[in-house]
Amino acid sequence: MTLVGKKAPSFTAQAVVNGHEIVNGFSLDKFLGKKYVLFFFYPKDFTFVCPTELWAFQEKLEAFRQRNVEVVACSTDTEQSHWGWLQLDKKQGGIKGVTYPIVADTNKTISYNYGVLTGDYDWNEHGELSATAELIAYRGLFLIDKDGIVQHELINSLSLGRNVDEALRMVDALQFFEENGEVCPANWHKGQAGMSATHEGVADYLAAK
């Protein structure tokens, strides 16, 4: 089940903001009507692929903010775990210097509602509660517009890191469509022409290639 075209699931949770401040009651709802949101999930703190992704988003943070996009991360770790990782230097595998919010999905409901939880609870033959897999988040990414509607989603397996430039390209494509009413063909990049969503528009575009 995709969330594209649907309202992004709402939540309220603990988060670490500005790299050091633990806050209660963090929600994406505060951005409604004001900003786009790039909301992404990662599996675990203190791991291997994850810090490369968090740093990659930090390195492009200003580019996202220039486009009125708030970047927000989330995993099923606690806010205390997030805070500890944020105090650890990059040379030690930490993410000290990452400044965008990192949400603590400790009860795993956010990951579940966004469809990125790797497993589920079940009952075994003895009536005991079990889990079908380790309950952490896949590498999910969701581009949410100012109305709170998911316009793009991407979900990778645990071992596959994402391309942050592609996430930025999708922001550009969405904003181009909103501003110009033209659609963005394959491999479109900011600064290129779009095309009208008609047979003639497609024909003209392909003929010009």
Catalytic residues: 50
Q: Which of 48, 174, 29, 165 is nearest to 103 (CA)?
A: 29
Q: Please, is 33 exposed, middle or buried when counting C-beta atoms within 10 Å of its C-beta (0-12, 13-18, 19+)? A: exposed
196: left (phi over 0), alpha (psi -120 to 50) or beta: beta
Distance CA 175, CA 190 (A): 10
